[in-house]
Amino acid sequence: MKVLIIDMNAKENSLFSKEFISPITDILDEEVCVWQISSYKELPSVNLAKFEKIILSGNQVMDKGPSEEERKKYFSWLLTAKNDILGICAGAQVLAQVHGADLYEQAEFGLLHIQVLEEDKLIKKELKEIYSVHSKAFTIPKGWTCLAKTSCPQVVRKENHYAILFHPEVRNKELIRSFLKL
């Protein structure tokens, strides 16, 4: 299986890139996946069709991530992508925004209890505690389903696209493993 990890950090190959990418690549190595890391700024030159799975990483809270202009330039393909897609934190925010969601101020830091609203192949009732580091949340895009929440939506899904606001690569690695099995 081929997996593309899109580095959502504005500064490529930074310490923050390692912090948010390395835990994901460790899981992919354990699951014996072939993977590639590309900055979101490299997307125009990446053949997305050769990847079965695409993961949009998180980034540090102070990194504002892709601007509105960059979201339009680099991420419009998300509207028609057939690949299985997992957006984590900043990646989830971009995935949701491209599909019409709005961002709003909502800081959540540390371990939080989560309420599972609906189970599926990734989200199970056993999910009780998550690790979250974000200053913004998103509204639920039209046509998407909210699977779990804290004081804001934490997991939303439409078909094979998942936007997860918390960081499963830190405390809920089984979610990434389940995503690889979709």
**Who contacts 40 (Cβ-Cβ below 8 Å, separation ≥6)?**
6, 7, 8, 56, 66, 70, 74, 75
**Who contacts 123 (Cβ-Cβ below 8 Å, separation ≥6)?**
116, 147, 148, 155, 175
Q: What is the pLDDT of residue 59?
A: 83
**Runs of H (alpha helix) within 32-87:** 68-75
Render pLDDT for 63-89 as a digit per residue (tens, 0 to 9). Answer: 566 777 888 889 999 999 999 999 999
Distance of CA 178 to the CA centre of its chain: 14
Q: What is the pLDDT of residue 61?
A: 62
Distance of CA 1 to the CA centre of its chain: 19
Render pLDDT for 50-60 as a digit per residue (tens, 0 to 9). Answer: 999 999 999 86
Q: What is the pLDDT of residue 97?
A: 94
The mean per-residue pLDDT over the stretch 42-47 comes to: 92
pLDDT at 12 over 70: no
> CB neighbours (10 Å) of residue 51?
22
Domain boundaries, the chain: 2-180
Q: What is the pLDDT of residue 72?
A: 80
Distance of CA 154 to the CA centre of its chain: 11
Instruction: Please give the model's pTM, rounded to 2 decimal places.
Output: 0.95
Render pLDDT for 108-152 as a digit per residue (tens, 0 to 9). Answer: 999 999 999 999 999 999 999 999 999 999 999 999 999 999 999
Q: Quote the CA–CA distance of 74 and 90 in Å, as a whole number.
A: 14
- The CATH class for the domain spanning 2-180 reads alpha beta
Q: What is the pLDDT of residue 138?
A: 97
